[in-house]
Amino acid sequence: MGCNLSVSTGKSDRDPKKISAMFSSIAGKYDFLNELLSFSKAGHWKTRLIKGAELPERSLVLDLCTGSGDLALGFLTERPEFKGDVIGIDFSVPMIDRAREKVAELGYPYPRRVEFLMGDALDLQFNDDKFDLVSIGFGVRNFADTQGGVREMHRVLKPGGQLNVLEFFRDGVTFPPFKWYLDTVIPWLGNTISASKAYTYLRDSSNEFLSCPEFERMLESVGFREIKSERMTFGIAHIVRARKG
Protein backbone atom coordinates (compact mmCIF):
# COMPACT_ATOMS: atom_id res chain seq x y z
CA MET A 1 0.00 0.00 0.00
CA GLY A 2 3.00 2.27 -0.16
CA CYS A 3 3.49 3.01 3.55
CA ASN A 4 5.28 1.45 6.49
CA LEU A 5 2.66 0.38 9.04
CA SER A 6 5.13 -0.10 11.86
CA VAL A 7 5.58 2.36 14.70
CA SER A 8 7.28 5.61 13.74
CA THR A 9 10.65 6.05 15.43
CA GLY A 10 11.39 9.74 15.74
CA LYS A 11 12.69 11.85 18.60
CA SER A 12 9.62 11.64 20.82
CA ASP A 13 9.78 8.93 23.46
CA ARG A 14 6.59 6.87 23.54
CA ASP A 15 7.48 4.83 26.60
CA PRO A 16 4.13 4.28 28.35
CA LYS A 17 5.45 4.99 31.85
CA LYS A 18 7.05 8.27 30.78
CA ILE A 19 3.95 9.40 28.88
CA SER A 20 1.70 8.49 31.81
CA ALA A 21 3.92 10.45 34.20
CA MET A 22 3.97 13.43 31.83
CA PHE A 23 0.19 13.60 31.50
CA SER A 24 -0.26 13.00 35.21
CA SER A 25 1.92 16.02 35.93
CA ILE A 26 -0.32 18.36 33.90
CA ALA A 27 -3.73 16.87 34.78
CA GLY A 28 -4.82 19.91 36.78
CA LYS A 29 -4.08 22.31 33.89
CA TYR A 30 -4.89 20.00 30.97
CA ASP A 31 -8.37 21.30 30.08
CA PHE A 32 -7.40 24.95 30.53
CA LEU A 33 -4.31 24.63 28.34
CA ASN A 34 -6.13 22.73 25.59
CA GLU A 35 -8.73 25.46 25.26
CA LEU A 36 -6.22 28.31 25.61
CA LEU A 37 -3.68 27.03 23.11
CA SER A 38 -6.28 25.94 20.54
CA PHE A 39 -8.31 29.18 20.86
CA SER A 40 -11.20 26.99 22.08
CA LYS A 41 -11.06 24.87 18.92
CA ALA A 42 -10.30 21.65 20.84
CA GLY A 43 -13.77 21.68 22.37
CA HIS A 44 -15.32 22.35 18.96
CA TRP A 45 -13.47 19.40 17.41
CA LYS A 46 -14.65 17.08 20.18
CA THR A 47 -18.22 18.27 19.74
CA ARG A 48 -18.01 17.54 16.01
CA LEU A 49 -16.82 14.01 16.76
CA ILE A 50 -19.60 13.44 19.30
CA LYS A 51 -22.44 14.84 17.21
CA GLY A 52 -21.33 13.06 14.05
CA ALA A 53 -20.89 9.64 15.69
CA GLU A 54 -23.36 6.87 14.87
CA LEU A 55 -24.71 6.22 18.34
CA PRO A 56 -27.53 3.71 18.74
CA GLU A 57 -29.92 4.71 21.53
CA ARG A 58 -29.00 1.87 23.91
CA SER A 59 -25.39 1.37 22.86
CA LEU A 60 -22.26 0.86 24.92
CA VAL A 61 -19.38 3.28 24.26
CA LEU A 62 -15.68 2.88 25.04
CA ASP A 63 -13.61 6.07 25.19
CA LEU A 64 -9.89 5.29 25.12
CA CYS A 65 -7.19 7.63 26.44
CA THR A 66 -10.10 9.45 28.02
CA GLY A 67 -7.91 11.92 29.92
CA SER A 68 -10.15 14.20 31.95
CA GLY A 69 -13.24 12.65 30.38
CA ASP A 70 -14.44 15.31 27.94
CA LEU A 71 -15.38 12.92 25.13
CA ALA A 72 -16.86 10.29 27.43
CA LEU A 73 -19.07 12.84 29.18
CA GLY A 74 -19.89 14.59 25.92
CA PHE A 75 -21.69 11.52 24.60
CA LEU A 76 -24.03 11.83 27.60
CA THR A 77 -24.47 15.60 27.73
CA GLU A 78 -24.52 16.48 24.02
CA ARG A 79 -26.54 13.53 22.69
CA PRO A 80 -29.78 13.61 24.75
CA GLU A 81 -31.29 10.83 22.62
CA PHE A 82 -28.50 8.48 23.73
CA LYS A 83 -29.67 6.29 26.63
CA GLY A 84 -26.70 3.94 26.82
CA ASP A 85 -23.55 3.83 28.95
CA VAL A 86 -19.93 4.90 28.57
CA ILE A 87 -16.66 3.47 29.87
CA GLY A 88 -13.60 5.74 29.86
CA ILE A 89 -10.10 4.23 30.04
CA ASP A 90 -6.80 5.98 30.79
CA PHE A 91 -3.42 5.02 32.22
CA SER A 92 -2.97 8.22 34.28
CA VAL A 93 -4.40 8.15 37.81
CA PRO A 94 -4.65 11.97 38.14
CA MET A 95 -6.48 12.16 34.79
CA ILE A 96 -8.96 9.48 35.89
CA ASP A 97 -9.42 11.28 39.21
CA ARG A 98 -10.20 14.52 37.35
CA ALA A 99 -12.72 12.72 35.11
CA ARG A 100 -14.45 11.25 38.16
CA GLU A 101 -14.61 14.71 39.75
CA LYS A 102 -16.30 16.07 36.62
CA VAL A 103 -19.00 13.42 36.55
CA ALA A 104 -19.62 13.89 40.27
CA GLU A 105 -20.04 17.62 39.66
CA LEU A 106 -22.62 16.91 36.95
CA GLY A 107 -24.67 14.86 39.39
CA TYR A 108 -27.60 12.53 38.74
CA PRO A 109 -28.03 10.60 36.48
CA TYR A 110 -24.55 10.81 34.98
CA PRO A 111 -22.55 8.91 37.64
CA ARG A 112 -24.78 5.88 36.95
CA ARG A 113 -24.07 5.94 33.22
CA VAL A 114 -20.32 6.45 32.97
CA GLU A 115 -17.41 4.62 34.58
CA PHE A 116 -13.79 5.75 34.49
CA LEU A 117 -11.18 3.01 34.82
CA MET A 118 -7.42 2.60 34.72
CA GLY A 119 -6.41 0.60 31.68
CA ASP A 120 -4.00 -0.05 28.84
CA ALA A 121 -5.31 0.65 25.34
CA LEU A 122 -2.92 -1.97 23.96
CA ASP A 123 -4.28 -4.70 26.25
CA LEU A 124 -7.96 -4.04 26.85
CA GLN A 125 -9.55 -6.27 29.48
CA PHE A 126 -12.81 -6.65 27.57
CA ASN A 127 -14.32 -9.47 25.54
CA ASP A 128 -14.38 -9.42 21.76
CA ASP A 129 -17.30 -7.66 20.04
CA LYS A 130 -18.42 -5.83 23.20
CA PHE A 131 -18.82 -2.15 22.24
CA ASP A 132 -21.07 -0.40 19.74
CA LEU A 133 -18.71 2.55 19.45
CA VAL A 134 -15.07 3.25 20.33
CA SER A 135 -13.75 6.80 20.50
CA ILE A 136 -10.30 8.22 21.12
CA GLY A 137 -9.23 11.85 21.20
CA PHE A 138 -5.55 12.69 20.67
CA GLY A 139 -4.39 9.32 21.94
CA VAL A 140 -3.51 7.10 18.99
CA ARG A 141 -0.18 8.79 18.35
CA ASN A 142 0.80 7.98 21.96
CA PHE A 143 0.49 4.22 21.43
CA ALA A 144 3.81 2.41 21.81
CA ASP A 145 2.49 0.06 19.11
CA THR A 146 0.15 1.93 16.79
CA GLN A 147 -1.03 -1.05 14.79
CA GLY A 148 -1.44 -3.14 17.93
CA GLY A 149 -3.69 -0.46 19.40
CA VAL A 150 -5.74 -0.29 16.21
CA ARG A 151 -6.18 -4.07 16.33
CA GLU A 152 -7.40 -3.87 19.94
CA MET A 153 -9.98 -1.23 19.03
CA HIS A 154 -11.15 -3.43 16.16
CA ARG A 155 -11.32 -6.49 18.42
CA VAL A 156 -13.56 -4.97 21.08
CA LEU A 157 -15.98 -3.37 18.60
CA LYS A 158 -19.10 -5.25 17.62
CA PRO A 159 -19.41 -6.13 13.92
CA GLY A 160 -20.74 -2.98 12.29
CA GLY A 161 -19.62 -0.85 15.23
CA GLN A 162 -18.00 2.50 14.59
CA LEU A 163 -14.56 3.84 15.49
CA ASN A 164 -14.25 7.62 15.93
CA VAL A 165 -10.75 9.11 16.13
CA LEU A 166 -9.72 12.73 16.69
CA GLU A 167 -6.01 13.19 16.12
CA PHE A 168 -3.10 15.33 14.96
CA PHE A 169 -1.40 13.79 11.93
CA ARG A 170 1.91 14.46 10.25
CA ASP A 171 1.76 17.02 7.44
CA GLY A 172 -1.79 17.96 8.38
CA VAL A 173 -1.05 21.69 8.40
CA THR A 174 0.45 23.37 5.35
CA PHE A 175 -0.43 27.05 6.01
CA PRO A 176 2.91 28.57 7.20
CA PRO A 177 1.57 30.87 9.99
CA PHE A 178 -0.38 27.98 11.55
CA LYS A 179 2.61 25.67 11.21
CA TRP A 180 4.81 28.24 12.97
CA TYR A 181 2.27 28.63 15.79
CA LEU A 182 2.00 24.87 16.29
CA ASP A 183 5.74 24.23 16.16
CA THR A 184 6.99 27.27 18.08
CA VAL A 185 4.38 29.08 20.16
CA ILE A 186 2.45 26.11 21.55
CA PRO A 187 5.54 24.25 22.88
CA TRP A 188 6.96 27.41 24.48
CA LEU A 189 3.73 28.68 26.03
CA GLY A 190 2.39 25.25 26.98
CA ASN A 191 5.63 24.14 28.61
CA THR A 192 5.92 27.45 30.47
CA ILE A 193 2.41 27.30 31.94
CA SER A 194 2.47 23.57 32.69
CA ALA A 195 6.07 23.54 33.96
CA SER A 196 6.68 20.42 31.89
CA LYS A 197 7.86 19.33 28.46
CA ALA A 198 4.44 17.96 27.51
CA TYR A 199 3.90 20.43 24.70
CA THR A 200 7.28 19.78 23.11
CA TYR A 201 6.18 16.15 23.08
CA LEU A 202 2.87 17.20 21.48
CA ARG A 203 4.74 18.89 18.63
CA ASP A 204 7.28 16.12 18.11
CA SER A 205 4.82 13.23 18.35
CA SER A 206 2.51 14.91 15.82
CA ASN A 207 5.32 15.65 13.36
CA GLU A 208 6.62 12.08 13.61
CA PHE A 209 3.27 10.30 13.43
CA LEU A 210 1.52 8.81 10.41
CA SER A 211 -0.14 11.02 7.85
CA CYS A 212 -3.93 10.78 7.74
CA PRO A 213 -3.90 8.68 4.51
CA GLU A 214 -1.36 6.31 6.08
CA PHE A 215 -3.55 5.94 9.14
CA GLU A 216 -6.56 5.20 6.95
CA ARG A 217 -4.61 2.43 5.21
CA MET A 218 -3.64 1.02 8.61
CA LEU A 219 -7.31 0.91 9.60
CA GLU A 220 -8.15 -0.88 6.38
CA SER A 221 -5.33 -3.38 6.89
CA VAL A 222 -6.83 -4.64 10.18
CA GLY A 223 -10.38 -4.93 8.87
CA PHE A 224 -12.04 -1.51 9.14
CA ARG A 225 -14.27 -0.38 6.28
CA GLU A 226 -16.24 2.73 5.28
CA ILE A 227 -13.30 4.90 6.36
CA LYS A 228 -13.94 8.64 6.16
CA SER A 229 -11.85 11.62 7.29
CA GLU A 230 -12.75 15.21 8.00
CA ARG A 231 -10.23 18.07 8.21
CA MET A 232 -10.61 20.35 11.20
CA THR A 233 -9.43 23.99 11.13
CA PHE A 234 -7.09 24.01 8.11
CA GLY A 235 -5.89 20.47 8.83
CA ILE A 236 -4.64 21.07 12.37
CA ALA A 237 -6.65 18.02 13.43
CA HIS A 238 -8.66 15.33 11.66
CA ILE A 239 -11.66 13.25 12.61
CA VAL A 240 -11.46 9.74 11.18
CA ARG A 241 -14.48 7.44 11.30
CA ALA A 242 -14.50 3.78 10.31
CA ARG A 243 -16.71 0.73 10.71
CA LYS A 244 -15.75 -2.78 11.76
CA GLY A 245 -16.27 -4.92 8.71
What is the tens place of the pLDDT at every residue in 157-198? 999 999 999 999 998 777 777 778 788 888 888 788 778 887
Residue 205 has pLDDT above 80, yes or no: no
**At 33, which amino acid appears?**
L
Per-position b or e across 49-75, b if 16+ CB within 10 A of its CB: bbeebebbeebbbbbbbbbbbbbbbbb
Q: Does residue 141 contact residue 168 with C-beta atoms inside 8 Å?
A: yes
Query: pLDDT (tens digit, 9 = 90+) per residue, 65-85?
Result: 999 999 999 999 999 999 999
Q: Model confidence over 75-111: pLDDT tens digits?
A: 999 999 999 999 999 999 999 999 999 999 999 999 9
Question: Given this model, what pLDDT does residue 11 score?
Answer: 47
The full set of domains in the chain, from first to last, is 16-244 (3.40.50.150)
User: Per-residue DSSP letters for 65-109?
Assistant: T-TTSHHHHHHHHS-TT--SEEEEEES-HHHHHHHHHHHHHH-TT
